[in-house]
Structure 1
């Protein structure tokens, strides 16, 4: 049975209240700017130096954009861990007993990560543009920001699927997010083109939204026509929507199982 959109949005808003509280407990504006942002800028600089050492200007740009986009991927995948926090807090049974929409709640529950990832990746790209000739025009900058936001949100949908699996094995949550991050970095075009890998790996990589997000932002940087950029962005959005549908089904199944278990005890 389809869930009314208003109920979904209400659940997402309720989840986001928790997300904001969690993020405020993690960071102040000083620790976010002076700690996390500086750390990720150093990471992008490190990987960019690899491209510079190769001595190929095109590959340097490839590495700069790949390393920067991987920041929002890594941050979005922090949702794998935060999806299990309700278990640790003992609030998961209460959620399961409530009429909350599972997919909506968990979509809002960890939304601080893709939003933070959008900001950090955008700052990284703009800062790296001061040191490497990425050739952005003033008109390109809003498009860059939109593509980063799209990539962050679509990868968040992937993280929600992994997060639903992590609810079943919460002790493995950090391992799961680390393995997915490494696989995405290796196979989805951040370091080497997707075509470098055997065809089956390339086909699998095309199911991951960041592969298309990287294609879109690199096409924009290379001066491709907007139709090419929009096509890649559309594929990223489509992949993200499919992962979101899978995540919604996964959380619905988890709650249905928990509710059946609760009913059996009454």
Structure 2
């Protein structure tokens, strides 16, 4: 029989322990997701909703008599759906508080960070799947776009990149929601419209000046530009926005880790989550 690691005197690999906690939390999040949806409710309800939303917003362009504006808004709305599922990570982070397990996570050796980030993986997958589905539907509708083209393989990659950056932004604010759970839905809902507008997703014209700079620093902005480049057949032009979107997501990931560590420190000192 192999000796017990806790009694053998061998040092514990902290990195491996953190990764194991992250993986376990991701599995729990996936099981929660499966408990909430069946494939037919997800496809017939959630995915139909995001496609219908893109079609509805695109109809605004048709009302003003501009087909190009309709196409532009349809692509942007499909991109913005990545944030719809991702921002739900904010209220879902407070589930641990409702279940009474948040305090245990705070005092655990791994802490809040790997557990909370692991639980948010299903939000990343959900947001990416929603956006990819809506983008494929929009690209299949647009007559001037060749969907069955190798460059179209970038669509799901861009969708996942936008979901990644949006999820990291959500987890940055999840620490606030853990300390003040009454603000969870306010934080999630109040972010959706500004994020969609500042990314230029549903605006008829390109953003300029400081707003354009801000759109590149927030989730969605670069991904929206990349998808519009793909619609124009410029696959090479979509690569830089893709890399920029991943970079923005990584910056927000660092911010999320810092936010959760501050939350843990605050809760440890004031017994806020115990």
- TM-score > 0.5 by shorter chain: yes
Partner of 2:76: 66
Equivalent residue, structure 2, for 1:141: 152
The Cα shift of 1:63 comes to: 0.7
Structure 1 residues 208 and 176, CA gap change in structure 2 (3 angstroms): same
Deviation at 1:244, TM superposition (A): 0.4
Contact 1:158 1:244 (8 Å CA) reproduced:
yes
Q: Is the 8 A contact 2:162 2:219 kept in 1?
A: yes
Q: Secondary structure at the match of 1:191?
A: coil
The RMSD of aligned alpha carbons is 2.1
Query: What's the TM-score, normalizing by structure 1?
Result: 0.89
Larger Rg over CA atoms:
2
Q: Structure 1: give runs of 5+ residues left out of the alignment.
A: none
Moved more, 58-67 or 76-85: 58-67
- Is the CA contact 1:157–1:240 (under 8 Å) kept in the aligned structure 2? yes
Q: Separation in 1 of the partners of 2:180 and 2:240? A: 37
Q: Which residue number in structure 2 is paired with residue 6 of structure 1?
A: 16
| Partner residue, 1:241 | 250
Q: Structure 2 vs 1, CA of residues 193 and 15 (structure 1 numbering), >3 Å: closer, same or farther?
A: farther
Find the counterpart in structure 1 of residue 4 from structure 2. Answer: none
From 161, 167, 173, give the equivalent of 2:184.
173
TM-score (ref. length: structure 2)? 0.87
Unaligned runs of 5+ in 2: 1-12
Question: Which structure 2 residues correspond to residues 147-186 of structure 1 after superposition, within 5 A?
Answer: 147-186=158-197
SS at 2:242's partner residue? helix
Distance in 2 between residues matched to 1:164 and 1:13, nearest whole Å = 20
Q: Deviations over 1:100-132 (max 9, x none)?
A: 243222111121122112122212222223332
Alignment check: 8 A CA contact 1:194 1:205 kept: no
